């Protein structure tokens, strides 16, 4: 297993900022991003107006569009100026750590597999835990193929510098539903539905418990895996993993016209408490009610969540 660390990543950013003007300018532009806070059920959501993210928010991810474009995560299609750091997991899974040229975070990474394989987390969750351990200054995240991933045909993680998403530090109302010597599972009881929090001091234990959760989830017809987003970070010898169980890719307001339209395609960062609006009209008008409604729409219902929790408990 190859080792990476925050210092090596810092050097990568320095090198890329010096050699890649577009990326450097996009990171500088973050200083001018408009932001405001909206409280939803006591949780402090940040809302950002970030026009550069239109590339991701409005990305066409239907099968035809994907087939017709070159994969921007494959090495041969990436800009020649884009450099990366190799990360080899268990001697077989080859990843490349890249800076994301269209950032949300002041330090934002994309970590694709070298080979072109579909965006499916099954069998790769332990690699996510290892990345979090080796990059303790970052939160690692995974967007499912129809849960915000703009490259659902090429497996990748992303990572953002810690301290940006409210979910990392805001007090959360949770109820424990499983506990072992090394791992605890809780459910969020406010703000949003369908959220499981996994805390563990063991990679092996966490991976086994995640596999049980994964096997308990429904796969929609025509889909390859249960719809989900995952956040993961490492601190003081243990991992915190937040699993968001989805029912929809995009909310109705994404497709509405006129005043009812809000161009937002929620992914891990939005669910982590930072709603990204690429259009200023949406930044100006979005309310706590809109955020609450969007969350209710895209995450699984309370009834389905209750059934899922019982199913998980029965096999743990």
Residue partners of 24: CB distance under 8 A and separation at least 6:
16, 17, 18
Answer whether residue 252 shows pLDDT above 60.
yes
Q: What torsion, rounded to 10 degrees, do the Cα atoms 314, 208, 201, 203 define?
A: -170
| Rounded Cα gap, residues 77 and 48, in angstroms | 30
> pLDDT digits over 256-315, tens only?
999 999 999 999 999 999 999 999 999 999 999 999 999 999 999 999 999 999 999 999
> pLDDT digits over 67-80, tens only?
778 999 999 999 99
Answer whether residue 234 shows pLDDT above 90.
yes
Answer whether residue 60 shows pLDDT above 70.
no
The residues with which 48 forms a beta bridge, in sequence order, are: 35, 276
Q: How far is CA 176 from CA 24, 41, 193, 194, in A?
A: 44, 20, 15, 14
pTM: 0.95
Tokens 């506990």 correspond to 179
Question: Measured on CA atoms in the order 8, 108, 59, 211, is the torsion positive or negative?
Answer: positive
3-state SS class at 139: strand
**Band of the pLDDT at 2, cuts 50, 70, 90?**
confident
| pLDDT (average), residues 114-131 | 96
Nearest CA to 116 among 179, 70, 81, 83? 70
Query: Which one is predicted more confidently, 51 or 303?
Result: 303
3-state SS class at 53: helix
DSSP string, 171-207: ---EEEEEE-SSEEEEEE-SSSSSEEEEEES-HHHHH
DSSP state of 241: E
Domains in the chain, please, with CATH? Answer: 6-26+33-315 (3.30.428.70)
| pLDDT (average), residues 116-131 | 96
Q: What torsion, rounded to 10 degrees, do the Cα atoms 177, 164, 56, 118 define?
A: -40
pLDDT value of position 69 = 83
Nearest CA to 167 among 103, 246, 265, 240? 240
Answer whether residue 51 shows pLDDT above 90.
no
> pLDDT digits over 159-178, tens only?
999 999 999 999 999 999 99
Nearest CA to 277 among 29, 27, 23, 46? 46
> pLDDT digits over 181-198, tens only?
999 999 999 999 999 999
In the chain, % of residues over pLDDT 70: 96
Determine the angle formed by the axes of helices 125-134 and 203-216, rounding to 10 degrees: 140
Chain-wide mean pLDDT for the chain? Answer: 94
Sheet of 274-277, strands arranged across: 34-40, 43-49, 274-277
- The helix (H) or strand (E) run that includes residue 68 is helix 63-68
**Could you count the other beta carbons within 10 Å of the beta carbon of residue 217?**
18
């Amino acid at each position: 297993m190859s080792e990476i660390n925050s210092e090596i990543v810092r050097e990568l950013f320095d090198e890329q900022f010096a050699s890649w003007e577009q990326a450097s300018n996009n990171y500088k532009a973050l200083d001018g991003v408009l932001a405001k806070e909206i409280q939803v059920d006591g949780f402090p959501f940040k809302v950002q107006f970030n026009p550069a993210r239109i590339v991701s928010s409005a990305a066409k991810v239907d099968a035809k569009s994907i087939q017709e474009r070159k994969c921007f995560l494959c090495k041969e299609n990436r800009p020649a100026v884009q450099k990366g750091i190799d990360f080899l997991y268990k001697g077989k899974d080859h990843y490349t750590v890249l800076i994301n040229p269209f950032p949300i975070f002041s330090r934002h990474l994309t970590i694709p597999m070298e080979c072109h394989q579909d965006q499916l987390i099954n069998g790769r969750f332990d690699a996510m835990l290892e990345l979090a351990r080796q990059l303790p200054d970052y939160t690692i995240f995974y967007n499912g193929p129809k849960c915000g991933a703009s490259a659902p045909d090429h497996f990748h993680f992303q990572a953002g510098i810690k301290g940006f998403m409210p979910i990392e530090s805001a007090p959360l109302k949770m109820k424990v539903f499983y506990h072992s010597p090394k791992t605890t599972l809780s459910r969020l009881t406010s703000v949003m539905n369908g959220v499981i929090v996994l805390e563990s001091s063991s990679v092996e234990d966490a991976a086994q418990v995640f596999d049980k959760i994964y096997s308990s989830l429904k796969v929609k017809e025509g889909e390859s895996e249960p719809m989900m987003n995952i956040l993961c970070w490492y601190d003081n010898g243990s991992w915190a993993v937040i699993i968001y169980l989805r029912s929809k890719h995009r909310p109705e307001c994404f497709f509405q016209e006129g005043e009812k339209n809000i161009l937002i395609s929620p992914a891990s960062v939005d669910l982590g408490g930072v709603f990204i609006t690429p259009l200023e009209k949406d930044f100006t008008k979005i309310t706590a009610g809109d955020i609450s409604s969007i969350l209710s729409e895209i995450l699984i219902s309370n009834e389905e969540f209750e059934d899922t929790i019982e199913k998980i408990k029965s096999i743990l």
